[in-house]
Amino acid sequence: MSPTAKGLYGAYGGRYVPETLVPALDELEAGWLEAISDPAYQAELAALAERYVGRPTP
């Protein structure tokens, strides 16, 4: 089975959370989609990865 464009598997796959959390997750998803298309965010993420990823724990 392959995921849909939104990363869901099948007609019902993808979210196993209480309905009360769905609005917060929708807001989080919207923010993430906005952030990943922002060049400033991408630059900051790349800089953090370059400086900190794989670095020994202090």
Which of the four pLDDT bands, split at 50, 70 and 90, describes residue 8?
Answer: confident
Looking up tokens 């790349």 gives 46
Q: What pLDDT score does 36 carry?
A: 93
Q: What pLDDT score does 27 carry?
A: 97
End-to-end CA distance of the chain: 43
pLDDT tens digits for range 16-58: 778 899 899 999 999 999 999 999 999 999 999 988 888 777 7
Q: What pLDDT score does 57 carry?
A: 74
Rounded to the nearest 5°, which phi and psi values hold at 9?
-110, 120
Long-range pairs, 49-55, Cβ under 8 A, ≥24? none
Contacts for 35 with CB less than 8 Å, ≥ 6 apart: 41
